[in-house]
Structure 1
Amino acid sequence: MSTTEGVIKSIQGLSGSSGDLSALHRILKGAEETLRTDSDLQLSTLDQLHPSKHSLGYLYLLDVLTCGSMSKEKALLISRFITCCDAEQIRLASDKFVSLCKRFKERVLELRDPLRGVAPLLTAVRKVQVSTKRLTALHPDCLQLCLQAKCYKSGFSVLSDDILEVDQPRDFYLYCYYGGMICIGLKKFQKALELLYNVVTAPMHTLNAIALEAYKKYILVTLIHSGQFSVSLPKCASTAAQRSLKTWCTAYTEVGNCYNEGKISELEAVVVAHGSDFEKDNNLGLVKQAVSSLYKRNILRLTQKYLTLSLQDIANMVQLASAKEAEMHVLQMIQDGQIHALINQKDGMVRFLEDPEQYKTSEMIEVMDSVIQRTIRLSKNLIAMDESLSCDPLYLGKVGRERQRYDFGEDFDTVPQKFSM
């Protein structure tokens, strides 16, 4: 009996219970190297197994069969396996499952067909994820496919969880970076800012390329969403970020400084001067959105000074080319809920109104309730994390060592005033 035949029999006989699966796992680990050189192992061998009932064994064999060059047939097998496999079984060899899924992702990218991988990777994330609070190694890959396939809504569904547990920092950086880009695609700028902020302020000993690219987008999204740029990085950012990020992003900080001054002509001159840099970074579209937002920001300032203005006056004050262009901006701002106004088409006058929202409708109450419930959940999670950390032997040991450095065995009030040398 060949190694492959013996393994097949073991898989068929030991896939029923958790105890049997543990024994099967040991057999598969021991036979893995031999299987790689066994000529009896072919794609047709998998026909003897059911991907759902024999998921652990199927995973090991499929991993061996797809280790080299991957044909479309092999990629299709992986896709079907991800959809059918049993989550409990594949979690026994989660590293191998993750490796298989990453191989599949690379293949669909090589084929320039990222859409083919979106649904399987979404399924894979949920199957390998023990808790919705935990970031898996497949989260960034899933978001990358959603981004390249322009399936922003599918990607956003992955971002709905509050991630509190992270194994690898790089996975966290990529998760937040790709997630931020997906939110930009959906024009959910508040969520995009939150995710990009996480990358910029994450602990780092040296500056990395992901944080650098995230900071460029962070500046532009801040301008679009908040209408202002802060030269200083958030205080919680690492020393490496504080020291290096602005140095590598001078073109973007120039855009931010010009935006703060509110002068369209100067801002457009900066955009022209650094246009090639923005295009190379694939940020030119976002830069143009920032420029457009300055027009809207200047119109918003007018609502704080005037009750009525003509469209031509608005065009002149915010440096728009014509009254028609001013009308388009005002209409878009009304539609987006940024301002409240009425336009008289006959005489071209705009009357600015007060916010009609009374914050007492059932829809608004639902929004407020969802925010409160999320805050309560986050608070409970933080308390649980604090309690867990306070009992962690590694943490307590480190705190104890740090305390010894300052524990002189007596109160500070009794420290002698003279020291012998």
Structure 2
Amino acid sequence: MDTLEALVTQIQGLSNGEADLTDLHNLLKQSEDQLHSHTPRLPSLLLQLDPAKHSLGYLYFLEACTSAPVSKEQANDLSLIIVRFINSCIAEQIRLAPDKRFKDQVLMLEAPMRGVAPMLASVRKLQTSSECLTPLHPEFLLLCLLAKNYKAGLSILKDDIFEVDQPRDFFLYCYYGGMICIGQKRFSKAIELLHNVVTAPMSTMNAIAVEAYKKYILVSLIHQGQFSTPFPKYTSTAASRNLKSFSQPYMDLAIAYGSGKRSELEACFEANKENFEADSNLGLVKQVLSCMYKRNIQRLTQTYLTLSLQDIANAVQLNSAKEAEMHVLQMIQDGEIFATINQKDGMVRFQEDPEQYKTCDMIEHIDSAIQRIMTLSKKLTAMDENISCDPLYLAKVGRERQRYDFDDFDSVPQRFNI
């Protein structure tokens, strides 16, 4: 019996108890080089393993099979085997090797849509809970972006993530998640995710944070009509000192947008068009340009009760009253302003927000937000308690305290001479 056949026998014998699985995992890690050097033999050996019983061993063999260059036909056969494996494997076993993945084989087929459902199943099996971020999360979101299947990506973005193992996974999860939300016009969620990338702890600058910051500026202008320059206090020093310098064309665009002058914004766009295109952000920048009309119309609602369509067209630099009417009607339909248009005299009457915040749907929405905040508060309290009991934390605090000996300070005087 050769070494590979002996390994198959050991996989069959050690795929039961928890202790056996630990031994098997160590054995498989030691055998990786050997598996990768004998890839032509592996498909026939896979037939001796049951993915529903020998999931860990099957995973290592299958990953080695996909590591070598294969033709498109071979990739098609392997993708079918991968799908069957994902559907039948034991979650507890594959969680021992979360770094094994097969996204590249799906991309070779030039049909990323075929990998979306199996990858989602993999994410769910790899998670110990919905609060846990796995290495497959960002890869799944990237696959959804390539497949333009944004709704599938939203299915995992609904979960509140509290457990993160690798920082890079978190950066990519939030960045790709932000792009998914942009594709679905869910700008508020996109801003939240991109903000998480920008303000996450980092000791040095990374390219993901830079690209996230550029999109964060653009989406803030589109959704909020403004961009807040100061960083929050909890932002890392590396980010607060360097992000602006890496994103100067976008900072210039935000300044031009804030002026409210269409000519300045267009001039800034033309001056930096090549940079925007190189960053694959040209579409978002064009949305910023089109949103300026809306933001200027919204500013008018804060000053006037009634205005003619022609006055609106002149104020926001539109070509005609008809064009102004189209913008106003679209904004009313989208709930961005509250107004009525008198077709006889072409006058627009601006109104207050009719929402009274007392409907059943609104009460349920508020209650859901409160419950989420309460859950987050409990999580933070539990984390604080765990950290305060952590031996490494206590040892570090102890070392810090030794720097400040109370004997080094003068005692507080008990009497004051006046």
Query: TM-score, structure 1 length as denominator?
Result: 0.90
Comparing 327-336 with 11-20, which one deviates more in the overlay?
11-20
Residue 310 of structure 2 corresponds to 312
CA distances 1:77-131 after superposition (whole Å, capped 9, x unpaired): 223212221101212x324xx32x1xx2123234432222222221111111223
Q: Is the 8 A contact 1:2 1:40 kept in 2?
A: no
Residue 129 of structure 1 contacts residue 136 of structure 1 at CA under 8 Å; is this kept in 2? yes
1:388 shift after superposition: 0.6
Which moved further from structure 2: 34-43 or 219-228?
34-43
Aligned to 1:128: 126
Aligned to 1:146: 144
The residue matched to 2:67 in structure 1 has which SS?
coil
Query: Is the aligned partner of 1:80 residue 2:84?
Result: yes
Answer yes or no: is 1:94 the counterpart of 2:97. Answer: yes
Q: Percent identity between the aligned chains? A: 63
Is contact 1:303–1:352 with CA below 8 Å preserved after alignment?
yes
Q: How many residues align?
A: 409
- Contact 1:132–1:161 (CA<8 Å) still a contact in 2? yes
Question: Which residue of 146, 169, 172 corresponds with 1:171?
Answer: 169
Q: What do residues 236-275 of structure 1 show as CA deviations (whole Å, max 9, x unaligned)?
A: 2222222221112111111111111111111111111111
CA distance in 1, matches of 2:260, 2:30: 68
Q: Which residue of 2 aligns with 1:359?
A: 357
Q: Give the 5 Å matches for 1:171-190.
A: 171-190=169-188
Query: CA distance change for structure 1 residues 94 and 320 in 2, over 3 Å: closer, same or farther?
Result: same
**Could you say what secondary structure the match of 2:285 adopts?**
helix
The residue that corresponds to 1:204 in the other structure is: 202
Q: Are the counterparts in 1 of residues 339 and 350 from structure 2 also a CA contact under 8 Å?
A: yes
Q: 2:253 aligns with which of 236, 252, 255?
A: 255
CA distance in 1, matches of 2:168, 2:38: 36
The CA distance in 2 between the partners of 1:330 and 1:173, in whole Å, is 39
Instruction: Select which of 284, 287, 290 maps to 2:285.
Output: 287
**Which region of structure 1 is more displaced relative to structure 2, 362-371 or 80-89?**
80-89
Q: Are positions 1:230 and 2:225 aligned together? A: no
Within-5 A mapping of 1:41-56 = 41-56=41-56
> Retained in 2: the 8 A contact 1:4–1:41?
no
Q: Corresponding residue for 2:69?
A: 69
Q: Please give the secondary structure, in 1, of the residue aligned with 2:234.
A: coil
Q: Does structure 1 residue 194 correspond to structure 2 residue 197?
A: no
- When the two structures are superposed, what TM-score results if normalisation uses the length of structure 2? 0.91
In the TM superposition, what is the alpha-carbon distance from 1:49 to its structure 2 partner?
A: 2.8
Identify the match of residue 216 of structure 2 among 215, 218, 225: 218
For residue 243 of structure 1, the aligned residue among 241, 244, 256 is 241
Give the equivalent residue in structure 1 for 2:416.
none
Partners of 1:251 and 1:274 within 8 A in 2: yes
Partner of 1:419: none
Q: CA deviation at 1:213?
A: 0.8
Q: Secondary structure at the match of 1:409?
A: helix
CA contact (8 A) 1:229 1:259 kept: no
Aligned-residue offset at 1:54: 2.3
Between the aligned partners of 1:364 and 1:223, the Cα distance in structure 2 is 27
Shift of 1:50: 2.4
SS in 2 for 1:360: coil
Secondary structure of 1:187's counterpart equals coil
Q: Per-residue deviation at 1:401?
A: 0.9
Shift of residue 208, structure 1, vs aligned partner: 1.4
Instruction: Report if the CA contact (8 A) 1:3-1:35 is conserved.
Output: no
Q: Contact conserved, 1:180 with 1:195, CA < 8 A, in 2?
A: yes
Runs of 5+ consecutive residues of structure 2 not aligned to the other structure: 414-418
